[in-house]
Chains A and B, each alone.
Chain A
Amino acid sequence: MIKATHRPKHSSIPLLALLLCGLGILALGTGAVRMSPAEVVQALLGPHDETQARILYELRLPRILVGALCGALFAASGAILQGVVRNPLASPDIVGVAAGAGLAAVVNLMLLPNTPAWLLPVGASAGALAAFGLVYVLARQSGEVLPIRLALIGVAVEASLDGLRRLILVRADDSIAQALIFLSGTVYGADWERLFRVLPFAAVLIPITLLLHRRLDVLSFGDETAKSLGMRLEPARLVALALAAGLAAVAVMGVGILGFVGLIAPHAARLLVGPRFGLLLPASMLLGALLVVAADALGRGLIPPIEIPAGLLTTLVGAPYFLYLMRKTGRVR
């Protein structure tokens, strides 16, 4: 906090971007076949060794890109929600996204055991959006959605849908194990096809989000202040919430339910660049991308050839980091 006032806040952005590039190169070299950063750069720029090129271009690069992109999407979603709900503990989960996606995935596998590979993530993403719709409709009262009401109803809907999912799983057979892997959040097997499935949505949603940064700022003031600054609160809030749900739903399509990224990345970004969305969004997205790429690289590099799912690592690393942040900043309230 104190540090942030001494140097320009925006200097963090290029720094984070550089860090992400560096980490990306390290991650490209990590896995069952290890390559040094120099070898990676050489393989990318110069004449290709056939095997190395295959590993880099067909296996690792798309996987890293999917991870980075989806981490950024989750982080942007979390940043918006923490602002709109005015609670630093808000995350994509509180609009029902995770439970909606999970339930949809399980139902999908139960009804269509031989479901095509693309349908599972797309269905989950639709489930996430449907769950958000449910939360929003339930939270709306006499034309108004109060942030605290939204948060409480979000938690309740999340719990109900999650309960339903578990109920189904109790009676399900092993074929649904596939769904469980997906639910735990993993970048495993992410290929170019998956990247191109996510990319068009991201290419629309991210610029819209960035364009709306000033509205998001005003929304994160108290309702009375936002209104007296001339904001039409309810339409603006619906747009912001829908954007947040949409961003997270698209991320689910790429990597399943990656825990904690949407909670931690915006939180850490706020400590770096302050609460204004003009800087908060890019910083959150970069940190979200860093977090997922790092988790995935670690998951591949720790005990090869066994891979630890990135979602598990983000939670394992993320939760203690979060505790550390809370203790370190230790501010009043």
Chain B
Amino acid sequence: MSLSTKELTLGYDERRVIEGLNLALPKGRITALIGPNGCGKSTLLRALARLLKPREGAVLLDGKAIHTLPTKAVARELALLPQMPQAPEGLSVEELVWFGRYPYQSALGNRTAHDRALVDWALDQTGMRIFARRPLETLSGGQRQRAWIAMALAQETPILLLDEPTTYLDLSHQLEVLQLLQRLNREQGKTIVMVLHELNQAARYAHHLVAVYEGRVVAEGAPEAVLSERILRQVFGLKAHFLRDPETGTPHLIPFALARREEILEETL
């Protein structure tokens, strides 16, 4: 399953957020969408997840426009973890994970052995088995996020989309979530696309970065290629020292000053 966009234009009401975007998301890799607030990266993720109808162009799933495919068929190919997912109060972790099987169940909702096996597998993968009977609201932020990821796993999709999966988590829970995603990518070959704010985390955990600024993709590629001095100024308006992560060899930034974006932008145009 490959996910790409063709001449994709997105917007809300009168406002155009993304304009004429052509983007291919590498299969079996982790892609991070980066960019300042309001640049259109979350909007792009929503469109990739079929939550937002394109103004023009299309999101293509294996070459087919995602909006012409049946909703349930799409739900078997890609799962989404929204930024602030809401569940009915009192729902237990295991009950939540079972809903991941919804796209596969008939109207009567008969549960097969395969459904059962996948729910168990998802609970194990995320280390949530011990919390299976706990209501979601009694869990910590990191545990809750893992519960939602378990539900997305039970959806048995080759593609996983996540909107800022680490926001509101403390540092150790952030790493916990990112390492889980890394392992799912390595061991299950899942294609993962996520919006991330922390550039160093994006550099460390993603294979592919897509830098979005004012509705356009300004740069994409390996973290070393994307996180340049020029892009950092142009997209984030920052000056930074560039170091190497001693563990992974990926770029590590230490921002030290704000930079003016406009001049640089004109230069490159």
Contact = CB atoms under 8 A, between A and B. Distances in A.
Nearest to A270: B90
Given A228-B75, A274-B91, A331-B137, A218 B82 contact: no
B88 A1 contact: no
A221 B155 contact: no
| Interface residue SS majority, chain A | loop
A220 B88 contact: yes
Given A218-B99, A218-B102, A224-B85, A229 B75 contact: yes
B41 interface: no
B99 A224 contact: no
Contacts of A88: 89
A126 B151 CA distance: 42
A317 B89 CA distance: 25
A217 B74 contact: no
A325 to B, nearest CB: 13
A275 interface: yes
B105 A214 contact: yes
Interface in B144-191: 155
B127 to A, nearest CB: 20
Nearest to B78: A228
B87 A224 contact: no
A1 B135 contact: yes
A47 interface: no
A225 B85 contact: yes
B88 A227 contact: no
Given A214-B109, A274-B91, A221 B80 contact: no
A274 B94 CA distance: 13
A331 B137 CA distance: 10
Interface in A191-249: 211, 214, 217-218, 220-222, 224-225, 227-232
Q: How large is the interface on A (under 10, 10 to 19, 20 to 34, 35 or more residues)?
A: 20 to 34
Contacts of B89: 88, 270, 275, 331
A275 B133 CA distance: 14
A331 B75 CA distance: 34
Contacts of B92: 5, 274
A211 B181 CA distance: 37
A224 B90 contact: no
A232 B99 contact: no
B90 A230 contact: no
A228 B66 CA distance: 12
A165 interface: no
Interface in A275-292: 275-276
25 contacts: A1-B90, A1-B135, A4-B90, A86-B86, A88-B89, A214-B105, A221-B85, A221-B87, A222-B82, A222-B86, A222-B87, A224-B49, A224-B85, A225-B80, A225-B87, A229-B75, A230-B73, A230-B74, A230-B102, A231-B102, A232-B71, A274-B95, A276-B91, A276-B95, A331-B89
Given A221-B99, A224-B51, A275-B91, 13 more contacts: A88-B89, A214-B105, A221-B85, A221-B88, A222-B85, A222-B87, A224-B46, A228-B49, A231-B71, A270-B89, A274-B92, A276-B91, A331-B137
Interface of A: 1, 4-5, 83, 86, 88, 211, 214, 217-218, 220-222, 224-225, 227-232, 270, 274-276, 331-332
5 residue pairs, one from A and one from B, having the closest CB atoms: A230-B75, A275-B88, A222-B86, A230-B72, A228-B80
